[in-house]
Structure 1
């Protein structure tokens, strides 16, 4: 019996819908665009290029064509979601909205809480208002595991969240509340996804706040030391970007009314320690590049670091039919090759 995702592929191929992907020139967004183009969909991207790159869209179109999809590029609109009129204009004629545009960095939000609020709260409200006015079929948005805040639980369950520890976490919680309100008050079908530690090709390895996996790959390929904060036994739920795309598209097209107005964890549902992550990456980089990768250098624990974090994915599996296709090792193999 085909999976929900396989069935979706059959349903969409030859049945072109029009999709708006905000933040579509970014890491996760460009993979969403790639999949939609691969399946013959019409795609418009709204991105201000503060984090995204047009090169990502070119890579997405090329990969889609190689996978049997259309060669045409997504229609690109440069713009900011804090511009209410831009949101109203670009959403016209859309069937589905996948809203990924955001300030995505916890440290940056700590430095610029006002900018975080403008982008993540006001910007998302602009998109919700535009989606309501345009009567789109579905509005799917990115939330974050950051909303769990100070709650102490090895496996995070959607109904139990703690107090926010950053302006970023607070902004994502507000997004969830407002999206649920738009469903309850106006009937706009919204679905939120709480991403855990997403990784994959096109993730930016540069900058002070880059994610650990692209940072480590960049250092390893250059023969530099990799630093681990603490003893390396901290665990995270690392989820490959193509599985995140699966969850987004299932959320956008589900006919399960129990999913509307809800939020779902998106992760692998399994915890990986930093030591385990290092060992797999060391093997992959040495195998693919021939570079001799030195062992890790351990440093002090970072203040405020969560010891363990893992997604309970029961709800997303039961209501959306989500089934991860990638182990961490399989995803890392593709990620190293992508760099």
Structure 2
């Protein structure tokens, strides 16, 4: 089987850390080009705009959009109108409406659109979903606390409108939660802490409610300088299940269902799924993780806190 030529648009930290090695390890894709301002890879043709890249590489059939969400929409439109299949790094856009517009455009163009949620591919997520399928959730807790200076050094776009602030990692939690719980949840309360010099929150506390009125408390914080915590647990009518390491490790009633490290194989599985979607000519655009985030922004009480200044760690 011939590999699909793919181009990466936006060669930032997530692209170089995750997308590049995942594509190179995937037999279904060949990294044919990159488009980025001031960044390139050895032995891969590099361009600073997509029009030039498409002109030079008409065989590129797919693109992975890894630019910040604020500038992703026009690039996705250009790619789809050029007849290319499109993979969107999370979050898929800055608004729900623009992603719905991309979904409609992809359908009209006969292209594949894939809104990725890498944390759903963590080792313990599917075992957790299977375990919860026949159980009723009675309560739960989500804790996502990490050091923004460690994971997003110098990324000022996170603090600008559309950047989501602490919800940039927090949406990983909502992507897991919406995938594994047997029933939908809704946001009933949200409290944000936003630095005085920023437009997006550095911390957030949410309350979610299941269809059967079980409360799930959510704690997101970008200021964790100690142990990084990406965990959640749920009590049910038949025991407790706990996920840690961003969904990599799952323990149900003391029994280990799955183990692994955060980010292990997640992007490899993303590209396996993208290849399958291309083969089937089918899109996958699930907006439920982003809907919870949007609802939190609509309901939030806001509190200004100390200014945030990013001093990059070496």
- State TM-score, norm by structure 1: 0.34
- State TM-score, norm by structure 2: 0.36
More strand by share: 2
Relative CO higher for 1 or 2, CA cutoff 8 Å, sep ≥ 6?
Answer: 2
